């Protein structure tokens, strides 16, 4: 009889794990369904720069200049014109009731005053009860107005358009010219989804064996620890691949997130990250006594991945101690890596710092897990 | 003992924290014997069995099991041991066949498919092999568990309270199987709470608070315990039973069919008490040799759960 690693036994554990995975419909549905649901939720719901805000107009001077201005606003994507109002009271009422986020007032003799250089005021009344909701649109407003003027006031009227506009605001968004939040959120979301499923499912899969008593039977057989570990973890690596594939397709097809970097840079980082999460799950399973504890411990590791990794809030904006903590979180490095690769066109060399950091974290967690793992029930 | 020893360990000790669960335990089990482990809950039966099959590392003690060192060669011991856990420990979300097949793969059983099919036929579960193990009744689970730990034809069976929660018929069938295996040369070490099971063992060891108190061939246990027993027959046994409780020399009073067995370890005092009741008339008294039953009742009666250690 052989005392070394047996491929047959390892394959037996692997096969058993797949059968159990298939039979546990709820978990299986969770593994495939959860990433999609989260993608839709976070990708669509979290938006720091919302568009298509309902807008009302009060037009007191019809003419080409007004039409140009309104057309410019419409095409900016921020404003959806839902109707016209008469008089300031009606506009105020609509805002208060939440029927519109904006009311645009074009003053009397607007075109004539512009031509005369009197610099009339276009009033934009915004519902600022949710400041972030209208901030982007408000910021874009001044640019739209001056553009519209420049286009309409041509020929002899050009000098009127040339006067310096006091409300000129420069918005310059690097790598994400349209300022869409989803471009920023979606790549990072992959890190969160992988953290959640990989850590939790690995931890629970192993603790479940102990809780149900099957671990006692398993280790009373000649099976070796490496056979159990690999046999149990590998199916979930595959699940991670499937999740990522589903995710990437959705990111391209639904959210138009670009992938400008090299695939290998992503591939290395992705595998290291998955490995790190599985090792973390394994480590948790050596600490938790039952499935409930495993879930809770997993959840605790996921919160820092969301809050300290730069996924939700800019990393540079955090205080020093939080940045130190965040540096120990694998998701921090993977989020940096994937944003660099997808949005900034990075190659393997450009992400070497992140790869090294991930490698170190994987090594440390794996060592800790190996030290904690017992082949006996001691 | 002429048969070679399958298990021969000395001074086996296991501590969890500052609690000594098994305290310098010696055991010698001859080949083909059925060796019974008796003792109250928490007395260290399960821990001892787990140390013998390599699931726990002993803190002290050494010896051999199936010719392998218990401390250093646990992986080799495992290949020849069938261990049946107290709790059902096969996969409830695998089918009966998948479970047997999985265990067979773990032991690298030759001709696996055939072996599993034969096990299913022996079990009488061939037509239900696709059923999930979790849906089986307690008795069937126990039979499946036994079949699983026999799939690699082990030389030593370690059974940890195998019949807990199983009906009497299934228990009888189970013991018929154990005796058949024993005849075939398989050594069986079994822990139990049931007296009727203890009686079936060739050897008995009694453990309390992690210490071995009694160890010997089953037939010698009453002598070792040192009980003398009197038998009372006649009318009004219920009243007599109540009256005898707490009398000098009376350790236990037990009903055996239409008679009452009164036992105690202090023969002189017991006899004096018996003579006094005899003088009152009514029942016919006779001295009988103490049986295994009395010995077990005596042992079990003195044993409370061992989880509280103050009495140690």
Instruction: Choose among B75, B81, B91: nearest Cβ to A20.
Output: B91
Distance (Å) from the alpha carbon of B12 to chain A's nearest alpha carbon: 15
Distance (Å) from the alpha carbon of B275 to chain A's nearest alpha carbon: 55
Verify that B281 and B184 share a domain, yes or no.
Answer: no
Half-sphere exposure of B183 (CA within 13 A, CB side): 6
Return d(Cα B301, Cα B305) in angstroms, integer. 11
Contact A222 B78 (CB under 8 A): yes
| Average of per-residue pLDDT values in chain B | 88
Verify that B33 and B168 share a domain, yes or no.
Answer: yes
Inside any domain, residue B311: no
Contacting residues of B for A226, CB less than 8 Å apart: none
Verify that B45 and B11 share a domain, yes or no.
Answer: yes
Distance (Å) from the alpha carbon of A10 to chain B's nearest alpha carbon: 9
More confident call, B240 vs A307 = B240
What mean pLDDT do residues A365-377 have? 78
Does A154 contact B at CB distance below 8 Å?
no
Verify that B107 and B211 share a domain, yes or no.
Answer: yes
CB pairs under 8 A between A and B: 77
Verify that B123 and B146 share a domain, yes or no.
Answer: yes
Contact B79 A24 (CB under 8 A): no
B112 pLDDT higher than 90 = yes
Contacting residues of B for A18, CB less than 8 Å apart: none
* Stated pTM of the model: 0.72
Instruction: Choose among A6, A11, A221: nearest Cβ to B78.
Output: A221
Instruction: Choose among A16, A216, A378: nearest Cβ to B102.
Output: A16
Domain stop point among B221, B240, B266? B221
Does B235 contact A at CB distance below 8 Å?
no
What is the predicted pLDDT for the residue at A133? 58
B203 pLDDT higher than 90 = yes
Return d(Cα A110, Cα A160) in angstroms, integer. 13
Return d(Cα A18, Cα A235) in angstroms, integer. 7
| Average of per-residue pLDDT values in chain A | 79
Inside any domain, residue B297: no
Verify that B60 and B114 share a domain, yes or no.
Answer: yes
Q: 101-160 in B: which are within 8 Å (CB) of A?
A: 102-103, 105-108, 148
Q: In this structure, what is the dihedral angle of CA atoms B27, B33, B36, B42, given to the nearest 10 degrees?
A: 50
Superfamily of domain A53-162: abc type-2 transporter like domain (3.40.1710.10)
What mean pLDDT do residues A57-76 have? 83
Verify that B208 and B155 share a domain, yes or no.
Answer: yes
Residue B90 contacts residue B131 (beta carbons within 8 Å): no
To probe the interface with A, which of B102, B134, B141, B160 has the most A CB atoms within 10 Å? B102
Least confidently predicted of A42-56, A114-128, A260-274, A326-340: A42-56
Give pLDDT tens digits for B243-274. 888 888 888 888 888 898 998 888 888 899 98
Return d(Cα A45, Cα B22) in angstroms, integer. 60
Identify the top-confidence range among A29-33, A92-96, A372-376, B291-295.
B291-295
Identify the top-confidence range among A19-23, A201-205, A362-366, B40-44.
A362-366
Q: What share of residues in chain A are helix, strand, coil (percent, to 5)?
A: 70, 5, 25
Contact B103 A378 (CB under 8 A): no
Give pLDDT tens digits for B150-194. 999 999 999 999 988 788 888 888 999 999 999 999 999 999 888
Contact B89 A19 (CB under 8 A): no
Q: Is A81 helix (H, G, I), strand (E, B) or coil?
A: strand
What is the predicted pLDDT for the residue at B11? 93
Distances (CA, A) of B66 to A119, A268, B212: 102, 49, 22
B73 pLDDT higher than 80 = yes
Return d(Cα B262, Cα B249) in angstroms, integer. 10
What is the predicted pLDDT for the residue at A171? 35
B218 pLDDT higher than 80 = yes
Total domains in chain B come to 2
Residue among A162, A100, A171, A106 nearest A136 (CA): A171
Verify that B265 and B211 share a domain, yes or no.
Answer: no
Return d(Cα A250, Cα A244) in angstroms, integer. 10
Verify that B243 and B259 share a domain, yes or no.
Answer: yes
Residue B46 contacts residue B86 (beta carbons within 8 Å): yes
Nearest CA in chain B to A20: B93
Nearest CA in chain B to A4: B75
Pairing mode, strands B187-192 and B34-38: parallel
What is the predicted pLDDT for the residue at A1? 47
Contacting residues of B for A214, CB less than 8 Å apart: 89-91
Distance (Å) from the alpha carbon of B218 to chain A's nearest alpha carbon: 29
Verify that B61 and B164 share a domain, yes or no.
Answer: yes
Domain stop point among B221, B247, B278? B221
To probe the interface with A, which of B47, B73, B105 has the most A CB atoms within 10 Å? B105
A370 pLDDT higher than 90 = no
What is the predicted pLDDT for the residue at B92? 93
Inside any domain, residue B168: yes
Which residues are within 8 A (CB) of B142 and not within 5 positions of it... i.e. 6 or more apart? B88, B162, B163, B166, B170, B174
Q: What is the DSSP letter of A294?
A: H
Domain housing B284: 228-289
Share above pLDDT 90 across residues of chain A, in percent, rounded to a whole number: 8
Residue among A272, A205, A209 nearest A240 (CA): A272
Distance (Å) from the alpha carbon of B90 to chain A's nearest alpha carbon: 6
Least confidently predicted of A99-113, A154-168, A246-260, B250-264: A154-168
What mean pLDDT do residues A247-276 have? 87
Q: 278-297 in B: which are within 8 Å (CB) of A?
A: none
Instruction: Choose among A16, A217, A224: nearest Cβ to B89.
Output: A217
CATH of the domain at B114: 3.40.50.300
Inside any domain, residue B25: yes
Verify that B52 and B151 share a domain, yes or no.
Answer: yes
B1 pLDDT higher than 50 = no
Verify that B72 and B55 share a domain, yes or no.
Answer: yes
What is the predicted pLDDT for the residue at A314? 65
pLDDT band at A162 (very low <50, low <70, confident <90, very high): low
A236 pLDDT higher than 80 = yes
What mean pLDDT do residues A293-309 have? 83
What mean pLDDT do residues A178-193 have? 75
Contact A377 B55 (CB under 8 A): yes
Give pLDDT tens digits for A134-161. 667 777 777 777 777 677 666 655 555 5
ipTM of the complex in this document: 0.80
More confident call, B120 vs A247 = B120
Every domain of chain A and the residues it spans = 7-46+180-372, 53-162
């Amino acid at each position: 009889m052989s005392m070394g690693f047996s491929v047959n036994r390892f394959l037996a554990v692997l096969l058993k794990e797949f059968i159990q995975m298939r039979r546990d419909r709820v978990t299986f549905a969770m593994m495939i369904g959860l990433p999609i649901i989260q993608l839709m939720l976070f990708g669509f719901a979290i938006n720091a720069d919302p568009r298509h805000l309902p807008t009302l107009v009060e037009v007191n001077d019809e003419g080409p200049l007004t039409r140009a201005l309104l057309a410019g606003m419409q095409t900016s994507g921020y404003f959806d014109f839902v109707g016209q109002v008469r008089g300031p009271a009606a506009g105020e009422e609509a805002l208060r009731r939440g029927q519109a986020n904006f009311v645009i007032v074009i003053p009397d003799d607007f075109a004539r005053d512009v031509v005369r250089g009197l610099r009339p005021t276009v009033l934009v009344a915004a519902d600022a009860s949710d400041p972030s909701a209208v901030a982007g649109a408000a910021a874009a407003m001044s640019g739209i107005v001056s553009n519209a003027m420049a286009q309409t006031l041509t020929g002899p009227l050009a000098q009127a358009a040339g006067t310096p506009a006091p409300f000129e605001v420069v918005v310059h968004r690097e790598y994400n010219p349209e300022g869409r939040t989803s471009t920023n959120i979606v790549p990072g979301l992959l890190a969160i989804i992988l953290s959640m499923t990989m850590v939790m499912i690995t931890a629970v899969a192993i603790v479940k064996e102990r809780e149900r008593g099957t671990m006692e039977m398993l280790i009373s057989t000649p099976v070796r620890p490496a056979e159990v570990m690999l046999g149990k973890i590998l199916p979930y690596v595959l699940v991670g691949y499937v999740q990522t594939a589903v995710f990437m397709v959705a990111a391209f097809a639904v959210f138009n997130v670009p992938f400008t970097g090299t695939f290998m840079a992503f591939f290395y980082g992705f595998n290291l990250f998955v490995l790190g999460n599985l090792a973390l799950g394994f480590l948790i399973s050596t600490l938790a006594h039952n499935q409930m504890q495993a879930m809770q411990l997993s959840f605790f590791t996921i919160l820092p991945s969301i809050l300290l990794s730069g996924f939700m809030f800019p990393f540079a904006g955090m205080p020093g101690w939080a940045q130190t903590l965040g540096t120990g979180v694998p998701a921090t490095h993977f989020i940096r890596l994937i944003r660099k690769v997808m949005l900034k066109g990075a190659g393997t060399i450009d992400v070497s710092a992140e790869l090294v950091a991930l490698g170190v974290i994987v090594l440390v967690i794996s060592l800790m897990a190996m030290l904690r793992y017992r082949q006996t029930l001691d | 003992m002429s048969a070679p020893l399958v298990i021969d360990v000395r001074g086996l000790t296991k501590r969890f924290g500052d609690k000594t669960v098994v305290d310098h335990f010696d055991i010698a089990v001859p080949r083909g014997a059925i060796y019974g482990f008796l003792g109250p809950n928490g007395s260290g039966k399960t821990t001892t069995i787990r140390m013998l099959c390599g699931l726990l590392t002993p803190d002290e003690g050494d010896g051999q099991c199936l010719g392998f060192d218990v401390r250093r060669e646990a992986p080799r011991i495992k290949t020849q041991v069938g261990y049946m856990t107290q709790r059902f420990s096969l996969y409830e979300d695998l089918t009966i066949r998948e479970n047997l097949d999985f265990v067979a793969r773990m032991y690298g059983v030759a001709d696996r498919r055939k072996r599993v099919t034969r096990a299913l036929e022996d079990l009488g579960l061939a037509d239900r092999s696709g059923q999930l193990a979790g849906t089986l009744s307690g008795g069937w689970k126990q039979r499946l568990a036994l079949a699983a730990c026999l799939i690699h034809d082990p030389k030593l069976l370690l059974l940890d309270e195998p019949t807990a929660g199983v009906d009497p018929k299934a228990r009888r069938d189970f013991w018929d199987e154990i005796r058949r295996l024993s005849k075939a040369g398989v050594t069986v070490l079994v822990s139990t709470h049931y007296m009727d099971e203890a009686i079936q063992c060739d050897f008995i060891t009694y453990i309390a608070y992690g210490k071995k108190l009694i160890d010997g061939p089953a037939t010698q246990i009453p002598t070792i315990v040192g009980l003398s027993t009197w038998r009372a027959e006649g009318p009004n046994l219920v009243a007599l039973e109540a009256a005898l409780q707490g009398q000098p020399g009376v350790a236990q009073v037990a009903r055996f069919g239409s008679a009452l067995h009164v036992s105690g370890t202090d023969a002189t005092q017991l006899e004096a008490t018996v003579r006094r009741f005899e003088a009152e008339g009514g029942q016919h008294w006779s001295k009988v040799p103490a049986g295994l039953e009395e010995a077990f009742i005596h042992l079990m009666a003195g044993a409370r759960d061992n989880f509280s250690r103050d009495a140690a």
